Amino acid sequence: IHPSFLGSRPQACPMTVSQLQGTGPLDQDGERDLGLRPGRGSGGSAGFGCGVEGRAAGGERSEFRPPHQPGGASQAEKATSGRRPGGARWPAPRPGAGWRAYPRRGPELGRRLSGRTEREQTSLWAMGAGSHRASSWPPSLLLLLVLGLAGAGPQVDEVDGYKKTEEDGHANTVEHLATATFHRCAKDAWRLPGTYIVVLMEDTHRLQTEHTAHILQARAASQGYLTEILHVFHGLFPGFLVKMSGDLLHLALRLPHVKYIEEDATVFAQSVPWNLERIIPAWNQAAEPQPSFRSSLFSLQASSYTGGGGRVTVYLLDTSIQSGHREIEGRVTVTDFENVPEEDGPCLHRPVNKCDSHGTHVAGVVSGRDAGVAQGASLRSLRVLNCQGKGTVSGTLRGLEFIWRSQLAQPSGRGVVLLPLVGGFSRALNAACQRLARTGAVLVAAAGNFWDDACLYSPASAPEVSVDVGAAQHGGKAGVLVAVCPRVVITVGATNVQDQPVTLGVLGTNFGRCVDLFAPGDDIIGASSDCSTCFTSQSGTSQAAAHVAGIVTMMLTAEPELTLTELRHRLIHFSAKNVINEAWFPEDQRVLTPNLVATLPPSTHGAGGQLLCRTVWSARSAAALAHCAADEELLGCSSFSRRGRWLGERMESRGDKRVCLAHSAFGGEDVFAIARCCLLPQASCSVHTAPPAGTGTETHVRCHQQGHVLTGCSSHWEVEDLGIPRQPGPRPQPDRCVGHEEASVHASCCHAPGLECRVREHGLTGPAEKVAVACEEGWTLTSCGTLPGALHTLGAYAVDNTCVVRTQDISAGHWSHEGAIAAIAICCRSRPHRGPTDSPLRTVPGEASSLGCCGPRS
């Protein structure tokens, strides 16, 4: 220890063994205060104070750090290592001393006494005996410290019942190469530095998790840092929550089994009787001329959503709840789970009912007697938001783990998890939602009230976009493939009484491809926490999500066997379509945002086998990938680029699943892959590919297996555009996909009971913003494309049951005479029985001659 840090009269610090073991109080910087910081000794000289942080001249703090540490002293530090921050030189260290002092801002104390064990170092550090005057300490105090230290420190090698792996065997002696990654919230104001979620590999078992946490504590202690393990995750995912200095991140990322580390962050409540009337579908209102919304809802619940025998529990992660309110009395179980952060600002007395406001209102929207959707539904309340409506990612994770254990304990019932909260994008939170969904739970989340892309927030974006390096191949070169994983959360935006997006001052509902549908979320009447019979109105995507959670609860009550995919498809299929004015959304988000407002679907007992499809957009990228859920079939694949520079798309098989890939041209990053994902029971599907045929010969491919039907076509250019205009490909022929001579062609072929398909086409020869063609009533759009090689196109995509081809903004004077644009739709249906004379694939006279591939001009 440098002599200048020892006063002329060493002070005895009233330390406890618990403080030495890392259980003492935390200081304002999130560090454990051992009472060993450089403090003021007598006579104004620096010495070891007791919990008093010392500052040398110039206001600098001092940090001990060994020069051998990775990222050790900089040249500037070395140049000033012999000087006090104020300019005066430190007294020269004694020869052989193992400590070096580097002045630096920050509360950290460093590290090692050369040639000594960790306990010897800690003893000398605590006693201040590294340089002189060790004999000044009373012998009784020295004995007490030695006996205390004998049992102190983490015992990383003595975990009961744990058998170390080869990787663990070197954990304490060899630093691993940092393959883990660090993530934190993109919103600076929402970050919670000092608390970190350490996520381990999925196959890490419980003892390995605890062992890894012990290793982190031991390594941190050996470098003079204190850590606190706040929680260990065993069920939902392997990992732990740790309070530590950010300086230890480089060390933690090198621990065995670590997959990634995420900084904790804040999450927020999202709340800012037309609503019940709006979700009653037109098919039910037509049966009763001019009914009241209440009588319609009662009639709907009584006739369609009772008698199914399903036991459904709604888990609400929110503020506390006034369970005695007449709207929800007897229907809410307040669990003992509570994990909320301290409130910001001064601690003011706040009436209890103010802390219950958001949770009580949301619970009333779900199951209230008078203003609820699923009236009488059973709720379980978990408190993860404080009285200010704020929570943390880590607290939400612990709440989801609580639900995960509850679901495993009661496997016979179905669970609906309502998440009326939003934080910044969190990989850990999205992954936890995905894991919880595997238990059969249905997760419904608020899209957020920030008038922004919902994909930037969690849990609205769950699961996250994944990046697969080297998986995308084009021209013999590996690329970075950006894929959208199958979504496990139903994300809900908010609309008002005019079916337009909710605006809240300068903010409003979030939007984009991560939103599944919208629901009423403006001026919603519900239970108020002011009294047990009071009502109030609130607005936001929390209220919208509560509506959908109520609808899902009713559907599961009637049909408990419904999967998440079936629920999502029915919500989409029976929603009100094209009622939102797209001009409300930013221009670049209009094609990505679904124009759907939720309504109550009819009871669907006996409706199995109906062909339902939805559109899945990838993230925008140079190489994009979209795929369907495990119980869906990919029947069609298209692509879209706002700049019109892309190479098309292709379908390919990966294991037992098929994916849709798209590539941008000329190194751009402006292409979307668009998958058409369908529920097709008992289907057997495959992809057939034909390489470019060469000059003067069309490229075509057809289904080879007996009984297989063509459900989709795609086309991919193998050579980028060199500036020479390409002629559109030849007109397709029946039952085959036809492409340009320079493009590969891919056909989706499926066999399923009663499956039949046909083609519809609509074309233009002059300039137009877009061309569209829709499937007829009773038929479902499975593929959307345009003529291969057509000029002026930006791509094709499906909007509900309509195929849309967008064109470039070109005036009539610059429109090429070869620029014919055609939208080509493949429409299919699944019929229980088909006569022997029915053809599984046919064209509509005068509308289409065959199946055209999606063929952009690159």
Q: Could you list the active site residues?
A: 318, 358, 542
Q: Whole-angstrom Cα distance, residue 664 to residue 648?
A: 8
| 8-state DSSP, 723 | S
Q: Find all residues with CB under 8 Å of 96, minimum gap 6, and list them.
A: none
Which tokens is 734 given?
A: 């029946």
Structure tokens at 237: 């995912």
Contact between residue 306 and residue 557 where contact means Cβ atoms under 8 Å apart: yes
The answer to whether 712 and 747 have CB atoms below 8 angstroms apart is: yes
Query: Do 663 and 718 form a contact (C-beta atoms < 8 A)?
Result: no
Q: H-type helices in 464-525, by residue range?
A: none
What tokens were used for 186? 């993109």
How far apart (Å, rounded) are the C-alpha atoms in residues 257 and 154? 19
At 57, phi and psi to the nearest 5?
-60, 145
Contact 498, 576 (CB under 8 A): no
Tokens of 633: 């079939």
Quick one: how far is CA 418 from the chain centroid?
Answer: 15
Angular region, 296: left φ>0, alpha ψ -120 to 50, beta rest: alpha
Cβ atoms 634, 627 nearer than 8 A: yes
Cβ proximity of 66 and 110 under 8 Å:
yes
| 818 sits in which H/E element | none
Residue with tokens 């610059």: 814
Q: Which of 371, 372, 440 is nearest to 403 (CA)?
A: 440
d(CA 628, CA 104): 53
Integer CA distances (angstroms), 275 to 129, 422, 451, in order: 73, 22, 21
Q: Could you give the CA distance from residue 671 to residue 619 in angstroms, rounded to a whole number?
A: 8
| DSSP assigned state of 574 | T
